[in-house]
Amino acid sequence: MGKISVETCQIEGLKVITPTVFGDKRGYFLETYNYNDFKEAGIDLTFVQDNQSASKKGVLRGLHFQLKHPQDKIVRCIYGEVFDVAVDIRKGSKTYGQWYGVRLSAENKKQFFIPKNFAHGFLVLSDYAEFAYKCTDFYHPNDEGGIAYNDPDIGIEWPLEGIDELIISDKDTKWLTLKETF
């Protein structure tokens, strides 16, 4: 392998990926995705859609998932910094309802692999952030589901220091708790 290092998380299936960065006085180069390296790391999937969003500080997106067309995702922050979260919604999983969060930034260049049947969301920590993700299925707008970002049973510890107000879409304020959703 060598071009990426992969850290497993306490929730089975989640992986934090750190690419090797080749830098010199001109700047840097890295591979954000190489099928062979990811296959060797246990991520042998076909990605069919790339997405990108831009948000300002305090924007919280999520927690989202697809109902009938679940997606595996590789996410990364290409400008700024976000706190990225995945919640296990796999029925029968020993970690059902548990969450894992990681800081992703343009500086640390980490990526987060989130398998199917996880809810996903992120909070923008920097003044501005651009966020990119690869998906293994296409987005189906009528197939979207979600869970309340502040579900007390999940208990996500969002890093709110330095954030004056959360900016949340109307849709994301209406999601129910995990217990009410499933």
pLDDT per residue over 144-161, tens digit each? 999 999 999 999 999 999
Q: Say if pTM beats, i.e. exceeds, 0.85.
A: yes
Q: How far is CA 110 from CA 32, 59, 138, in A?
A: 9, 20, 24
Q: What percent of the chain has pLDDT over 70?
A: 99
Q: Which amino acid is at 68?
A: K
SS3 181: helix
The yes-or-no answer on residue 120 being catalytic is no
Instruction: Please answer whether residues 33 and 135 qualify as being in contact, where contact means their C-beta atoms are separated by less than 8 angstroms.
Output: no
Q: What angle do CA 77, 18, 91 make, to 5 degrees?
A: 75
Q: Is pLDDT at 47 greater than 80 in this prediction? A: yes
The yes-or-no answer on residue 133 being catalytic is yes
Which class would CATH give 4-181? mainly beta
Identified catalytic residue from 64, 128, 139, 149? 64
Q: Is pLDDT at 1 greater than 60 in this prediction? A: no
The pLDDT score that the predictor gives to residue 3 is 87
Write down the domain spans for the chain: 4-181
Q: How far apart are CA 22 and CA 11, in angstroms?
A: 31
Q: What percent of the chain has pLDDT over 90?
A: 98
Q: Is pLDDT at 6 greater than 70 in this prediction? A: yes
Q: Is pLDDT at 119 greater than 50 in this prediction? A: yes
Q: How far apart are CA 168 and CA 112, in angstroms?
A: 22
Identified catalytic residue from 133, 139, 140, 149? 133
Q: Is pLDDT at 27 greater than 70 in this prediction? A: yes
Mean pLDDT of 54-83: 98
